[in-house]
Amino acid sequence: MRTVADLKKGEMGTIENLSFDEIPLALMEMGCIPGKQVTLIQRAPMNDPLYISVNGSHFAIRRETAECIVLTKLLCDEI
């Protein structure tokens, strides 16, 4: 399972789903919606927090939250 926490700096991924119970509603309200593309802009030292851009919003989340945002499987042509 690939999540936002696995993205490399500058890499993009598409949100497949969010593991419901752990994800605060606020995260969806910031624009983290299935089907949307996420770009990892910057990682703080120790890979935490992560600075991402999704659905036109730019914000930082902690690694534990990023791990709950599941991305679609990589297709060959996406690499």
Partner 1 sequence: MKSKKNLNVALVGNPNTGKTSLFNQLTGLTQKVGNYPGITVDKKQGSSKLPNGTTATITDLPGTYSINPTSLDESIVLETLLDNDNENFPDVVIVVAEVENIKRNLLLFTQVKDLKIPTILVINMADQMERKGIFIDIEQLKEELKTEIVLISARKKEGINTLKKKLLGYKNFDTNPVLKVSDKIDKAYFEDVKARLKGFTTYKSWLLITQKEPVKFISEASKHVIENFKIDQSRLKKYQHKETIYRYQFINDVLKKTYKIDHSKAKDLRSYLDRVLTHKVFGYLIFTSILLLMFQSVFDWATLPMDFIDVTFSNLSEWAKMKLPEGVISNLITEGIIPGIGGIVIFIPQIAILFLFVATLEETGYMSRVVFLMDKVMRRFGMSGKSVIPLISGTACAIPAIMATRNIVGWKDRLITILVTPFTTCSARLPVYAIIIALIIPEDRVLGIFSLQGLVLMALYVLGFASAIISAYILNKVLKVDSKSFFIVEMPNYKLPSLKNIVLDVLEKTKAFVLGAGKIILAISVVLWFLASNGTSDFKNAETIVTEKNKDSNLPTEELEREIASYKLENSYIGVMGKMIEPAIEPLGYDWKIGIALISSFAAREVFVGTLSTIYSVGNDDEGTIKQRMAAEINPVTKEKRFNFPAGMSLLVFYAFAMQCMGTLAIVKRETKSWKWPMLQLVGMGLLAYLAAFVTFAILK
**Minimum CB distance to partner 1 smaller for 27 or for 71:** 27
**Minimum CB distance to partner 1 smaller for 12 or for 59:** 59
Give buried/exposed letters for 14-45 (b at 16+ CB in 10 A, else e). ebeebeeeeeeeebeebbbeeeeebbbeebee
**Minimum CB distance to partner 1 smaller for 33 or for 74:** 33
> Which residues of this chain interact with partner 1, rule CB under 8 A?
18, 20-21, 24-31, 33-34, 41-42, 44-46, 48-49, 51, 55-62, 65
